[in-house]
Amino acid sequence: MTATDPSPTSGASRPSPASQTLSRGIRVLEILSDALAPLTIDEIAVRLDVHRSVAYRLVRTLEDHGLVTRDAAGRVDLGARLAALAAGVAHDLQAEALPELTAVANELGMTCFIAVLDRDECVTLVSVEPRHAIASVAQRPGSRHPVALGAPGRAILTLVPPALWPADADAVRVTGAVARGYAVSHDEVIPSLRSVAVPLALRGRAAAAVGVVYLQSEHEPGVLAARLTQAADGIRASLGG
């Protein structure tokens, strides 16, 4: 082997009995997700820094499970079953939250969503868009950005001990969000977009937040936050958390 794989993601140095083959297979998925276009096996092998036959076997295995597909030219792309797998992520939360999110989205005319903490990132899990969605492309399920940025990120951080806040977090603003019970943002993650979010703490689950994004509104942020808190309470009640 040319070089042993470093800690896959960027993590600390744990005693980590990690499986090399599995790790490489997952990295294939990550590479494909980052790439805009389908990749050839050779390209995958290069980016993975492994021999082609290794990449070939990994791809074949992923294909067997439907996680990647291959077009007529042999190019590799992510498969639809990956989306099916992802539907199982916190699917009780998704199921219980959906009606609440829909209600908020329709009442306020804004995109309403749930984001959860994933290491140092904030990833959108479910989102519901209202009728006249302008910023449709934003806040789609699966989108992620550093948790230090934006209202939902700071709302999530209010659930995390300050000692664990990332270095680039604005401690003053997060502290303010803790006091107020909600967080606001403007022009942070997405240009000229505003957002309001409240924390959503669920028992035995990663820190989460429910929020809305909008261009402008006749409502004060506090009013939006009150509605969101109500939705969060409803979700929490449904899950008994």
Q: Which is nearer to DNA, 36 or 172 (CB)?
A: 36
Q: How far is it, in rounded angstroms, from Cα 238 to Cα 225? A: 20
Q: How far is it, in rounded angstroms, from Cα 199 to Cα 210? A: 7
Q: Rule CB under 7 A: which of 61-120 touch DNA?
A: 70, 74-75
Instruction: Work out how close the CB of 233 gets to a second copy at its nearest, in angstroms, rounded to a whole number.
Output: 20
At position 125, the amino acid (one-letter code) is: L
Q: Which is nearer to DNA, 131 or 203 (CB)?
A: 203
Choose, by CB under 8 A, the member of 4, 13, 88, 167 that binds a second copy. Answer: 88
**Residue 102 within binding range of a second copy, rule CB under 8 A:** yes
Total residue count of the chain as it appears in this document: 241
Listed in sequence order, the DSSP H helices in 52-109 are 52-64, 80-86, 91-108
**Residue 131 within binding range of a second copy, rule CB under 8 A:** yes
Cβ atoms of 123 and 113 within 8 Å: the answer is no
Instruction: Work out how close the CB of 192 gets to DNA at its nearest, in angstroms, rounded to a whole number.
Output: 42
Instruction: Work out how close the CB of 240 gets to DNA at its nearest, in angstroms, rounded to a whole number.
Output: 17
Closest CA to 229 of 190, 187, 189, 200: 200
- Quote the Cα angle for 226-230-235, to 5°: 145
Q: Rule CB under 7 A: which of 28-47 touch DNA?
A: 40-43
Q: Which is nearer to DNA, 14 or 131 (CB)?
A: 14
CB-side exposure of 193: number of CA atoms within 13 Å?
23
By a kind-dependent CB cut-off of 5 to 8 A, residue 65 interacts, out of a second copy, DNA, none, with: a second copy
Instruction: Work out how close the CB of 201 gets to DNA at its nearest, in angstroms, rounded to a whole number.
Output: 19
**Residue 13 within binding range of DNA, rule CB under 7 A:** no
Q: How far is it, in rounded angstroms, from Cα 77 to Cα 69? A: 5
Other C-beta atoms closer than 10 Å to the C-beta of 7 total 12
Choose, by CB under 7 A, the member of 29, 31, 35, 54 that binds DNA. Answer: 54
Q: Which residues contribute to the site for DNA (CB under 7 A)? A: 1-2, 4, 14-15, 17-22, 24, 40-43, 50-54, 56-58, 70, 74-75
